[in-house]
Structure 1
Amino acid sequence: MTPPFVTRYLIALNQHKLIGFATFFLITGISGIVAIQPTPAPIYRAEGRLIYTTPVKVFSQTGIQISEQGKQRATPETLLAENVVKEVAAGMQVSSKDIVKNTQVKLPKAEGPQFISVIYRDKNKEISATIVQMLMERMVEQSRFINTSQLRRIIKVIEERLPKAEQELREAEQKLEQYDRVQGPALFAAQDGTLVGGITGSQQQQRSLEIQLEGVEAQYSSLIERLGLTPDQAYTSSALSADPIIASLRAQILDTETQMELLKGQLRPQHPTMIELRKQQQTYETLLQARAAEVLGGNGFTSPLPSQIRQDSTLDPARQALANQLVALQTQREALQRQLAATQRTEQELRQQYQQLPNKQLERGRLAQQVTFKQEFYNRLQAALADTKIAEAETESSLAIA
């Protein structure tokens, strides 16, 4: 007797035998089609390595910096730049798109080996290896080109800034030179003590002049009191009394007046002799007035003529000597007053210079500091230019083929 589960299996098989046969033939057909398909061509993977380099001989600090920066600039974008791809594509007669599509650039990780992997995939093993080699060569050259371009940009920037820096240095030097030309003597006088000495000397000179002036003032006041004349009156009287013509005219006038006085009791005023004597008196007085104007009008003396010339011209030799002394003291007094005023102005100017000295020193220090700053900046530009030109001559690639 047949077991129940076998009976059920046979019944189910009979019901679904068409689906089973169909599935069997479908799988067999697909397997046959896949079996007769050609085998795909293999893809070859070529890989090369670029290592970071350090210049063997470096005399320039800029060269070291550019070399380090060149390592940082070695990115997939710069290494697979358009010019690199085009050169390789032209050399291998393939499209630039295929080069970019099939090339892979892997940068090193911080904790891993420090090299750059350049991978290229192609169906042709030799082409794949050749393209990888050409890519690495162009990448090495590209790194050197980038370093050189960077150095040339630096040189151009420095050369553009040098004229302006030199001009600013010259302007700062000219300002300092001009300031020293104007304020230098005062600063030098302050440094060597001349300015303080000048103030002290001016004060001593003032004291000496004040003492002299006090003595002159005492004599001056005494003579005025003794003569009863001002210095201008003393000058007038002395000048008139010393003139021989005026003395002669005074004598003639006195003689005429004497005759008129003697004849006054004998002759009437209308008498021709009296009339002639009065004419003579008037003539002598006119000549006396004219001569007095001549005597007193010289040497810039502008005092008005005294109304009584005869009285003013009667100084005896002793009083005339005192009058001359008073005039001399007046001149000496005015000279001392002018000298005292001049020394006071000098002291005031010196004191102002001394008070302004800190500001002048600060200003000169500021100008000198500007010259120092401009000179240092100019020197740094010159040194940087020389250093960069040396670096340009030593330029190498930051990469090399391992």
Structure 2
Amino acid sequence: MNLLELNVPQKIRQQEDSNPLIGLLTTLRRQWLPATIVFVGVFGISAYLASRQKPLYEASGELIFKVDRAARLTGIGDEEKKQTNLQTEARVILSAPVVELAVKSLDPAFKDIDITDGLSVIPSPDTNILKVSYQSENPKEPAEVVNALMKSYIANDLQANQAESVTARKFILSQLPNVEKDLVDSELALRRFKEKNRVTALAQESSSSIGVVIGTDKQITDLKAQISNLEASIRAMRSRLGISTNQATLLSTLSASEPVKQTFAELQKVEQQLAVQSTQYSDGHPIIKRLKRQQTTLQTLLQQRVAEVIGGGKSINSKDLQVGGLDLALMSDLVKSEINRSGLQQQLDTLERSLNTYSDRLRVIPKLEQEQQSLERKIAVNRITYESLLKRLQEVQLVENQKVSNARVLSSAVEPTQPIASKLKSNLMMSGLLGLAVAIATAIALQSMDTLLRTTDDLERAFDSYPLLGVLPKFGRKWVGRQDAIVCAEPGSQISETYRMLQTKLEFLNANCPLKVILITSSVPSEGKSTVSANLAAIAAQLGKHVLLIDTDMRHPSQHAIWDIPHGLGLTDLLAGQTPEGSVIHTVIPNLNLLLAGKLPSNTLSLSLLKSQRMSALMEKWADIYDYVILDTPPLLPVADAMVLSKQADGVLIVARPELLSSPDASVAKKLLDKSDINVLGLVANGATPRVYYKYRHYAPTESSKKLKRLKPS
């Protein structure tokens, strides 16, 4: 609800938390004195040292570097050499050998001077030029140092180049024989490989072999088709003749022999005569006998003629010789077909052997190519290495014989006539920036070591889970009325309005169950809890509420001083049963009764009295009689009295004072409250200096406004 909003606007707090610049300004405001002292000290010392500086003289020279070294002059060398690394060369110029060589060439007075302090070597952008500069209080020294340094660098570079060339030449000469031997060995290995595997050009061989294989395979297919046709024709002719091919061959051969034909004709003639005569004569007849003798003689002669034609060991029935002209032509065709088939079969066998030979070669060629390529790669690598070493040897010998540096003097240094521009203004500016930086760092360091909660915002962050119910301003002691009971002396003042707002917020915290017993405490002593208790009780009484204010701080009671009442009997006497209730309760203003702490008991006795049944009974009684019972208790951290009494209160109000309460104490107090399951109503910032309060102080009545001038924050 709106009544629970803080007295400081929420937007201002959010800006201060989120804006680091506001946080820095706050830190500087808090630590302004040490920060100012540090700034003045650092700036003063720096300005004094800057004003004491003597004028400096500066001389500069330039060195230009070649893209290549001697190779650019000779035309021999890599075309892709990179430009000289100017940053590296700048470090070389500032190296100890070059500086020592330059110092040796200078006046002996330079031996005790470290010239590197005034030296600077800067590369010129987008060029191969180095600018060498030297500053000194003596106008004659800069030019001498710069020129000597550039000469010593060139001399050192020549010496380094020659030394590198000699070392490179020796190394190359030591490697050349080995590389040459590797090249010869690899070439010899390739030659042996070709001789062993009968290799000339594997790529061409592979291509031609593939063509041969394809052609041979086609020929084989054609021959197989022809043979198949001939075999079918041969089978048909055999079936018709009823003889084998061999028999057909023999008969065909005999049919072509004239002696066999004549003898066979004579035999047939005798056999015909014998057949005719056998019908007329008996077997014993001389004619029959003569014809049989002729038949036998002719058969024998026929077999002889057959043997002469077809060779010995083969015989043929004379009946088989009785072949007609048609059968004889068919037998001739059969013999020819068989001869053709045999010839084609031989061609087929030859082609298949050739095909197998080429196929086997083709299967070996990939492996041979791999081996050949491996050998050729070795030869190529060895040849490149060998040729590269020869080329490098020539380059190194040329560089070794030439006295050319990779840099030359573009412009020599000239003795300056005027000192360089004074840097007093820039030094003073740098001194101011340095002082400001150190001052800010000092303020931040001091602030980080400061554990006190300085502002209301710090209090809110420390007690982040509790609402801030009010911000009570800081005021002085010189005002009219009783000490610290300002609401009684100035009921119309803005401070009194602040307490009224606090009391109103407490009423609205729980409208369904009004607060009756309110315990007011703090984390540590001196945070103003007793003052807040007294003024809050007085405001409630002024608003017509019947209020009982009880001082339960038995060790350091203060309500008697606030209300200017003698310290006498009080709560301890009442709890001990030593005095009646009516004799210890005082009416300080209308509607406000006060119960003092009483005699000071021991710590153990005070805690036992507060935890007694008598105390509980009295609290229940007073809660029924009064509208408000306000308990002014001891702080949380030193003693346990507040924690014991909190069990009998409807709520606890925490009073915290900026610049008194530390962050660790606030953290411990908050943890103690959170773990005790206590109803914490909220937080009251006491003794703060909120801008909002003084912004609206003109709204107070005229007389009160005049008196408020005396209540300005101390």
Return the TM-score normalized by structure 2: 0.31
Partner Cα separation in structure 2 for residue 392 and residue 291 of structure 1: 107
* 8 Å CA contact retained: 1:176, 1:368: no
Q: Deviations over 1:152-175 (max 9, x none)?
A: 754753564365245225314525
Instruction: Name segments (4+ residues, structure 1) moved above 6 Å.
Output: 143-149, 273-276
* 8 Å CA contact retained: 2:216, 2:355: yes
Aligned to 2:254: 240
| AA matched with 1:365 | Q
| AA matched with 1:235 | T
Partner Cα separation in structure 1 for residue 403 and residue 174 of structure 2: 18
2:204 to 188, 193, 202: 188
Q: Which has the higher helix share?
A: 1
Aligned to 1:305: 314
| AA matched with 2:204 | F
* 8 Å CA contact retained: 2:186, 2:379: yes
- Of 241-250 and 340-349, deviating more is 340-349
Compared CA separation, residues 114 and 223, structure 1 to 2 (3 A): farther
Compared CA separation, residues 327 and 183, structure 1 to 2 (3 A): farther
- 1:317 partnered with 2:325: yes
Q: Deviations over 1:319-352 (max 9, x none)?
A: 1110010111111222333334444444444544
* 8 Å CA contact retained: 1:168, 1:374: no
Q: CA deviation at 1:370?
A: 2.3
- 1:330 partnered with 2:316: no
Q: Deviations over 1:148-195 (max 9, x none)?
A: 98677547535643652452253145257548962636x32545xx55
Partner Cα separation in structure 2 for residue 395 and residue 283 of structure 1: 125
Q: CA deviation at 1:224?
A: 0.3
Q: Deviations over 1:190-240 (max 9, x none)?
A: 45xx55554444444344333323322221111000001111110001111
* 8 Å CA contact retained: 1:216, 1:329: yes
Partner Cα separation in structure 1 for residue 239 and residue 260 of structure 2: 27
Partner Cα separation in structure 2 for residue 112 and residue 392 of structure 1: 21
Aligned to 2:150: none
2:174 to 157, 160, 165: 157
Matched residue SS, 1:113: helix
Matched residue SS, 2:199: helix
Partner Cα separation in structure 2 for residue 177 and residue 384 of structure 1: 33
- Of 231-240 and 385-394, deviating more is 385-394
Matched residue SS, 1:229: coil
2:229 to 215, 221, 230: 215
Partner Cα separation in structure 2 for residue 291 and residue 388 of structure 1: 102
Q: CA deviation at 1:250?
A: 1.5
| AA matched with 1:184 | A
Compared CA separation, residues 388 and 112, structure 1 to 2 (3 A): closer
Compared CA separation, residues 284 and 343, structure 1 to 2 (3 A): same
- 1:386 partnered with 2:394: yes
* 8 Å CA contact retained: 1:172, 1:367: yes
Partner Cα separation in structure 1 for residue 256 and residue 266 of structure 2: 17
Partner Cα separation in structure 2 for residue 114 and residue 180 of structure 1: 69
- 1:287 partnered with 2:287: no
Higher relative contact order (CA 8 A, sep 6+): 1
* 8 Å CA contact retained: 2:249, 2:331: yes
How many residues align? The count is: 265
Compared CA separation, residues 188 and 144, structure 1 to 2 (3 A): closer
Partner Cα separation in structure 2 for residue 176 and residue 388 of structure 1: 38
Query: Which structure has the larger Rg over C-alpha atoms?
Result: 2
Q: How does 1:11-50 map to 2 (within 5 A)?
A: none
Compared CA separation, residues 314 and 242, structure 1 to 2 (3 A): farther
* 8 Å CA contact retained: 2:248, 2:332: yes
Return the TM-score normalized by structure 1: 0.51
* 8 Å CA contact retained: 1:293, 1:305: yes
Partner Cα separation in structure 1 for residue 332 and residue 367 of structure 2: 53
| AA matched with 2:252 | S
1:174 to 172, 191, 197: 191
Aligned to 2:566: none
1:113 to 83, 99, 107: 99
Matched residue SS, 1:182: coil
| AA matched with 1:311 | K
Partner Cα separation in structure 1 for residue 370 and residue 161 of structure 2: 52
Aligned to 1:95: none
Q: CA deviation at 1:383?
A: 2.4
- 1:373 partnered with 2:381: yes
| AA matched with 2:248 | A
Compared CA separation, residues 392 and 180, structure 1 to 2 (3 A): farther
| AA matched with 2:188 | E
* 8 Å CA contact retained: 1:235, 1:327: yes
Partner Cα separation in structure 2 for residue 116 and residue 281 of structure 1: 144
Aligned to 2:585: none
Alignment RMSD (CA, Å): 4.7
Structure 1 residues without counterparts, runs of 5 or longer: 1-55, 62-107, 119-142, 397-402
Partner Cα separation in structure 1 for residue 264 and residue 224 of structure 2: 44
Partner Cα separation in structure 1 for residue 161 and residue 211 of structure 2: 71
Structure 2 residues without counterparts, runs of 5 or longer: 1-68, 78-93, 105-159, 405-714
Q: CA deviation at 1:244?
A: 1.6
1:230 to 241, 244, 248: 244
Q: Deviations over 1:227-272 (max 9, x none)?
A: 0111111000111122121011112333444566638946748x7x
Partner Cα separation in structure 2 for residue 388 and residue 180 of structure 1: 44
Q: Deviations over 1:35-63 (max 9, x none)?
A: xxxxxxxxxxxxxxxxxxxxx967588xx
* 8 Å CA contact retained: 2:172, 2:389: no
Compared CA separation, residues 177 and 296, structure 1 to 2 (3 A): same
Partner Cα separation in structure 1 for residue 295 and residue 253 of structure 2: 23
| AA matched with 1:188 | Q
Compared CA separation, residues 378 and 280, structure 1 to 2 (3 A): farther
| AA matched with 1:370 | K
Partner Cα separation in structure 2 for residue 166 and residue 253 of structure 1: 92
Partner Cα separation in structure 2 for residue 276 and residue 332 of structure 1: 48
* 8 Å CA contact retained: 2:234, 2:334: yes
Compared CA separation, residues 154 and 394, structure 1 to 2 (3 A): farther
Compared CA separation, residues 359 and 163, structure 1 to 2 (3 A): closer
Partner Cα separation in structure 2 for residue 177 and residue 391 of structure 1: 44
| AA matched with 1:328 | K
